[in-house]
Amino acid sequence: MSHNMYPTPAEYVQVAKSVVVKYPHLRDAEGNGYTTWHASLKRKCKNERAPLVSNTEVRKMKEKYGHAKKPQPPSTPSLHRRAANQTSEILVVGEDATSVKAHVAVLHSEYQKTHPDLPTVKDLMVRTFSWRRREIMDGMSVEDLLQRYPFLRAPGGFSDEVDRIHPATSSLCDRFREGFAGILPEVLKRAGKSHAEVFNTARQDALAEDLPEIDFRAGLIILPSIFKEKIEVFIMMGEGDAATPNPTIQVMDQDWKMAIAGRVRCVVKVDGADVCQCRSLDEAFITAFCMYFVFNLAYPPGLKKTLTFLQLRIVNIKEEGDKAIPTTILRVINALCTANN
């Protein structure tokens, strides 16, 4: 049977039914058995048509339904996904909708416990990993993803997930702390006057054993200014809503000194949702950085140079489709990385 670019509702249903009839183990556990396949087929066809802007049939349908002529209403900022060529096709092996649903049910049960069985949680997060990545690539919202996989809400959940996406001989957290410590003296030297005053005040009131962590947090706050970017794009102080849907750290205090000293609670927000709470600014910083990989998000223009530097030179993650680093950024990177060698 041949089809055009726009299958009818009846054709979608026919194909979805055929799949579960031939492969009964792929049936949904509830409902008519083929709802998931029906929705996936429609989404797949829509995604395949999206780039075919020069196709006559696609263009006519867009014009027919007013896509080209209808004025767009004012829109709120939305999350921007990484380019398609930066992600590969996700192949799910050994799991299906039924088995994943069972795994998710166990994860939810463990999440309700005061003391979850962590080995079980880790095993099930690994088992559902490929399926979860495909759900993200298919456009699952942040809110739905967190509701389905609640253990992602912990700071360690995001760093563990990045370690699954980009396996390495050491964890992302270890690489981040070790790599950033290597450039920290040079970063602190480049602190502007306002940052330096807050940083020095925090150090004056601290115990000697607290100084390394204070220096680390101060360096994270100073880093964007070296790339002519503003930390305020990434960190908001006090109560209120984030100005951007991108990962944002909300420091539950108005005092930068307290944030550098590590005596404030932080919440990481994404797309209007409070994703997880962190014990310190540095934990929140690393967690928010991890979210760009976990949620497959593009770096925002106002923080792109800083995050690119952290990705390529601090945690050493290279992805397919990454563009060459602009010369202006490369000069700053080389200055930071060679000054302490």
Sheet of 248-251: strands edge to edge? 235-237, 248-251, 266-270, 273-278
Q: Long-range contacts made by residues 2-9, C-beta under 8 angstroms, separation at least 24?
A: 4/57, 5/49, 5/52, 5/55, 5/57, 5/58, 5/61, 6/45, 6/49, 6/57, 6/61, 7/45
Q: Are 299 and 79 in contact (CB under 8 A)?
A: no
Least confident of 50-54, 92-96, 203-207, 265-269: 50-54
pLDDT at 194: 80
Tokens 């480049």 belong to 190
- Look at residue 36 and tell me whether its pLDDT is greater than 90: no
Distance CA 268, CA 285 (A): 9
pLDDT at 195: 82
Of 198, 204, 264, 256, whose CA–CA distance to 232 is shortest?
Answer: 256
pTM for this model (two decimals):
0.73
Split at pLDDT 50, 70, 90, the class of 333 is: confident
- Give the tokens for residue 278: 């962190």
Split at pLDDT 50, 70, 90, the class of 23 is: confident
Model confidence pLDDT, tens digit, residues 237-265: 988 888 889 999 999 888 888 889 888 88
Distance CA 217, CA 232 (A): 15
58: number of CA atoms within 13 Å, CB side?
Answer: 12
Model confidence pLDDT, tens digit, residues 124-144: 999 999 999 999 988 899 999
Model confidence pLDDT, tens digit, residues 63-111: 655 544 444 444 456 778 776 544 444 555 678 889 999 999 999 999 9
Mean pLDDT to the nearest integer, 221-248: 90
pLDDT at 74: 47
Model confidence pLDDT, tens digit, residues 275-293: 999 999 999 999 999 999 9
pLDDT at 50: 67
Distance CA 311, CA 82 (A): 14
- Look at residue 43 and tell me whether its pLDDT is greater than 90: no
Residue 268: how many CB atoms within 10 A of its CB? 26
Query: Phi/psi of residue 325, each to 5°?
Result: -70, 130
Of 37, 64, 49, 39, whose CA–CA distance to 6 is shortest?
Answer: 49
Cβ neighbours for 330, distance < 8 A, ≥ 6 positions apart: none
Q: Are 47 and 84 in contact (CB under 8 A)?
A: no
Model confidence pLDDT, tens digit, residues 290-317: 999 999 999 999 999 999 999 999 999 9
What's the start-to-end Cα distance of the chain, in Å?
66
Report, in this order, helix, strand and coil percent for the chain, each rounded to 5. 60, 5, 35
3-state secondary structure (DSSP) of residue 76:
coil
CA dihedral 242, 243, 247, 252 (to 10 degrees): -30
Instruction: Return mean pLDDT, the chain.
Output: 83
How far are the Cα atoms of 117, 129, 167, 234 from residue 155, in angstroms, in the given order?
A: 18, 17, 18, 17
pLDDT at 149: 96
Distance CA 210, CA 204 (A): 11
Model confidence pLDDT, tens digit, residues 142-187: 999 999 999 999 889 999 999 999 999 999 999 999 999 999 999 9
